[in-house]
Structure 1
Amino acid sequence: MRATLARVVLPALLLVAACGAAPTAETAAPTVSGKKVNLDPDQRRIRAKKVAAIAAEVPPAVAADGRLTVGFDGEGSPPLVFPATDETTLIGVETDLAQLVADVLGLELAPVPSSWENLFLATRSGKVEAVFNNVTVTEERKDVYDFATYRVDQLGWQVPNTSPIKTITRPADIAGLRVSVGSGTNQEKILLDWDRQNRAAGLKPVEIQYYQKYGDVLLALKSGRVQAFFGPNPSIAYNIAVSGDSRIAGTFSGAGPDLEGLIAAMTKKGNGLAAPIQEALTAVIADGTYRQVLDRWGLATEAVPKSLLNPPGLPRQAP
């Protein structure tokens, strides 16, 4: 999911429901749960205490320089990851949670901006040691990466307010539509599976259009070039609160109809870092700082009761 910074007043209930934004005129800072969100580079983040027993489990190769290098999508998508008012510093719920984990591990958080696609290559190559960027656990990704979960994954269907589309809850609802989705995302996998089901049932195929930036998706929706966008529910709701010219036609689990989708920290498979990250997440869930971070960004409904290491993910795509 990709988007740029929007600075607006954001109703708390909409932000809790979902997320995403496009450029708008600068106005007031967004408000979540009755409090204005700090969009400045100085975030005054919620911090956690080092837990020596967990820090001792960090692989020596990671601990050597005293830093935890974490990859984030530099394009941004509020309230997940997006640029602060200096247009450089990355802020959001993902950066805050990465900070908590770094604190528990006794490491300095070192953010590394990237593109969505390059986050995966950067992890495999060792350029980054972990990724906190709305990454869903999938069975295919587990072949190459390890995961420690920290949020529920909810997807949404965004359509213009004037659209005749009432609801999108099943494959038949998108037959013959022009739909946009992010390339290489788990929502693309779900969309392609729905399209295969429709074709097998003799229904019209979906026309899929890809855009590099969420702002381009919004322009395509407004112009009618696409009829719906399938993406992270939190970002879509954020954008709806900003613009007011679209709505959510349906939501869907990021892991499909039979499994709860889970967002997770991602590390290179077998490098030994996922386990201490999972333990660090368990610690901040227990001490309450995890909940404070989610509350700060209006995402309390996406909280998980515990962090899991490599749980079942989105099933493999049928050949």
Structure 2
Amino acid sequence: MTTERRFSRRIPYLAAATAGLILLAACGSSSDDSGSGAQDSGKGPAAPGAKAADSAAIPTQDVVSAIAADPALRAELPAKVRDGGKLILGTTRAPGTVGLPHGGEVNGTPVGLDVDLRNAVAKVLGIEWDVQYGTFPTVIPGVQNGRYDVGQDNFGVTEEREKVVDFATYLNDGQAFLGSRDTPVDTVKELTDLCGLTIATAPGSTFQQILTDGAGKCAALGRKPYKVQYFSDNATILLGLQNGKVDVSFGPTLGVKYEAAHLPNTKFLGEISTTAVGFVTAKDSPVAKALRDAVNKLITGGDYARIFAKWNLPGSGIATSEVNPKPSF
């Protein structure tokens, strides 16, 4: 969901509704992916002609500021972090709202589920985030080389990623499909349901990995293979789906469900797999354990559930955060 971040997709209404999501204008797990993530999953500026949506539709309740710091969990952080009071967080900028529910930006302020979760974790640890922006493919390398202390971009837990970074999980996302009203399938349970169709997804994501791994399945059944087009910009994927150049978009379940609920003339086609999503840190960094314990504090204290309720995502959370759980991929 990887769940990879977050990314999205869709017409006439597009100018009106992409509007909806484009300022209502990413996850890859991810994100990534999952997606994600997002994402997984680049987030880019709105496509030409896409309008902004009514930001009043975005939930605004404060579910973070009342969260208290836990001195015992703060003590788990390295001394230099405690002394400086900050952790450098690498992520991607998500202009507009096409990357919701994971992340977006309204009037210059980051909003979204992932934003609330990371800010809640910072409150528990008694630190602030120094948010720095990269691109989806550069965040994990940036964590590896020390540019960032933590990476967050709806990164799904994968075997390959766990070789180079550690994960502290904070939600489950999945890999799901969105179609236009005219897409000739209503349900996707496996990749062979997509034979002969054109699929849009994000490069460098778990979505790409899944589609690449399954590329020969249609031919093995004597059916026309699916085609894949890669876009790092959510708005471009939306436009492609809306104008008929793309039959199906493939992205993180939470984002796809959000799109289906907010974008007319689209339909949720189904989810084919799920992935744990987490913050990423350098291998063997004590920060991963601190992040895990902070998420678990939020879970046991009820703040975690309140964040998910704000974004109307019941059943999408995790029962327990883990460091480096068994990967799905």
The TM tier, using the shorter chain, reads 0.7 to 0.9
**What does residue 81 of structure 1 align with?**
103
**What does residue 121 of structure 1 align with?**
141
Give the C-alpha shift of residue 294 in structure 1. Answer: 1.0
Is 1:140 equivalent to 2:160 in the alignment?
yes
Alpha-carbon RMSD: 2.5
Listed as ranges, the gaps of 5+ residues in structure 2 are 1-5, 9-20, 25-37
Give the C-alpha shift of residue 47 in structure 1. Answer: 4.0
Give the C-alpha shift of residue 44 in structure 1. Answer: 7.0
Listed as ranges, the gaps of 5+ residues in structure 1 are 8-18, 32-36, 255-260
Match of 2:288 among 245, 257, 274: 274
| Alpha-carbon displacement from aligned partner over 1:28-58 (angstroms, at most 9, x marks no partner) | 5226xxxxx129xxx6734422211211111
**What does residue 257 of structure 1 align with?**
none
Q: SS at 2:56's partner residue? A: coil
Structure 2 distance, partners of 1:225, 1:245, is 15
Give the C-alpha shift of residue 83 in structure 1. Answer: 0.6
Q: SS at 1:123's partner residue? A: helix
Structure 2 distance, partners of 1:215, 1:178, is 17
**What does residue 53 of structure 1 align with?**
72
Deviates more, 1:267-276 or 1:107-116: 107-116
Structure 1 distance, partners of 2:67, 2:216, is 46
Give the C-alpha shift of residue 163 in structure 1. Answer: 1.7
Structure 1 distance, partners of 2:142, 2:172, is 24
**What does residue 238 of structure 2 align with?**
218
Note if contact 2:63-2:306 (Cα within 8 Å) is conserved in structure 1: no
Note if contact 1:52-1:105 (Cα within 8 Å) is conserved in structure 2: yes
Number of aligned pairs? 289
Match of 1:302 among 316, 320, 328: 316
Is 1:283 equivalent to 2:297 in the alignment?
yes
Matches of residues 101-112 of structure 1 in structure 2 within 5 Å? 101-112=121-132
Is 1:2 equivalent to 2:2 in the alignment?
no
TM-score, structure 1 normalization? 0.83
Is 1:312 equivalent to 2:326 in the alignment?
yes
Q: SS at 1:147's partner residue? A: strand
TM-score, structure 2 normalization? 0.80
Matches of residues 1-319 of structure 1 in structure 2 within 5 Å? 1-2=6-7, 5-7=22-24, 23-27=50-54, 29-30=56-57, 37-38=59-60, 45-75=64-94, 77-84=99-106, 86=107, 88-254=108-274, 261-315=275-329
Structure 1 distance, partners of 2:53, 2:196, is 38
Q: SS at 2:251's partner residue? A: strand
**What does residue 29 of structure 2 align with?**
none
Note if contact 2:22-2:52 (Cα within 8 Å) is conserved in structure 1: no
Judged with a 3 Å threshold, the aligned counterparts in structure 2 of structure 1 residues 199 and 123 are, in CA distance, closer, same or farther, namely farther
**What does residue 16 of structure 1 align with?**
none
Structure 1 distance, partners of 2:213, 2:171, is 24
Structure 1 distance, partners of 2:292, 2:65, is 19
| Alpha-carbon displacement from aligned partner over 1:217-276 (angstroms, at most 9, x marks no partner) | 11111222221111012222222333212111111223xxxxxx2111111112221011
